[in-house]
A and B are shown apart, each in its own frame.
Chain A
């Protein structure tokens, strides 16, 4: 799964927690989950749990704190997927 494929899947993880889903159209690796996508911080753990389920990975606390923007989310997901490969 390449980074673009991961972004496409990540959109499905983020969408339930977004009021304005049109914001997903223009996302890139620099897009910040809270300031750009207007996701409430109270949903950050939900997103981590959902990402764990979708990609069948485990995201530890040190990795979770890096998941600030789309690019860092992908970095963590790729790292954890490679660990189980």
Chain B
């Protein structure tokens, strides 16, 4: 079964002092994961950013699996990050633009690439890190060929606005991928609490994941179908869930 999982952390909201406290980070990171910070090329990255990078990876994996395993409980310690390959060199930059969306043809050299084990499954992560945010997406496909994701900053941070804005953001992307315009697309939560794309009254077979934290929102979605054309345009009717 295919799924989608993502997360976003607004770094202005984290408590740096607390994050650097052993009591805090030891509830998220195993000893071997803590060692990654010193083994890899993270020297220029503050430790608190490293902690939240790994948190965002673990939360993304949990969200991916929650769709597949009903009743799954988020347990960061059981999601094991085996390794992270940081871009070289690590350069902290401002998010700058109001919005970013991936392009399947673009280079991913700027991304942090992780490998994760959760139970019997292996996952791969890609993360974007800026001064203001950490955003992660996961997949069971190492190449992320059919994973689409985006990040956006918003002005109003009230929960209802975050929720509305991230839904509008992902539907805009879907409409840009699927031809014809679909005013009848909307996002609902399924009985497992996972977001699903609805067209009219029909659930689409397009796994999606939504995240928001303070003034940032993010989505990921999986569009996987042999009808995917080189220009990335597809027929929406091909994705109706059976």
Are A42 and B158 neighbours in the complex by a CB distance under 8 Å?
Answer: no
Q: What separation, in Å, do the CA atoms of A41 and B209 have in the docked complex?
A: 15
Q: How large is the interface on B (under 10, 10 to 19, 20 to 34, 35 or more residues)?
A: 20 to 34
Are A46 and B15 neighbours in the complex by a CB distance under 8 Å?
Answer: yes
Residue in chain B with minimal CB distance to A41? B59
Number of A-B residue pairs having CB atoms within 8 Å of each other in the complex = 39
Residue in chain A with minimal CB distance to B21? A49
Asked if A42 meets B55 with Cβ closer than 8 Å, knowing A19-B158, A19-B159, A61-B77, the reply is yes
Q: What separation, in Å, do the CA atoms of A4 and B104 have in the docked complex?
A: 53
Are B18 and A66 neighbours in the complex by a CB distance under 8 Å?
Answer: no
**Does A20 sit within 8 A of B, measured CB to CB?**
yes
Q: What separation, in Å, do the CA atoms of A40 and B213 have in the docked complex?
A: 7
**Does A79 sit within 8 A of B, measured CB to CB?**
no
CB interface residues, A 60-75, toward B, < 8 Å? 61, 64-66, 68
Are A38 and B159 neighbours in the complex by a CB distance under 8 Å?
Answer: yes
Are B13 and A66 neighbours in the complex by a CB distance under 8 Å?
Answer: no
Q: What separation, in Å, do the CA atoms of A19 and B160 have in the docked complex?
A: 11
Are B13 and A45 neighbours in the complex by a CB distance under 8 Å?
Answer: no
Are B74 and A45 neighbours in the complex by a CB distance under 8 Å?
Answer: no
**Does A10 sit within 8 A of B, measured CB to CB?**
no
Taking a contact as CB atoms closer than 8 A, the residue among B9, B18, B77, B193 that contacts A49 in the complex is: B18
Closest 10 A-B residue pairs measured CB to CB?
A65-B75, A61-B77, A38-B159, A65-B73, A45-B27, A19-B159, A49-B24, A40-B213, A45-B24, A49-B23
Q: Which residues of B contact A (CB under 8 A)?
A: 9, 13-15, 18, 23-24, 27-28, 52, 55, 59, 73-78, 158-159, 193, 213
Return 6 A-B CB contacts under 8 Å, by A number.
A19-B158, A42-B52, A45-B27, A46-B24, A64-B27, A65-B75
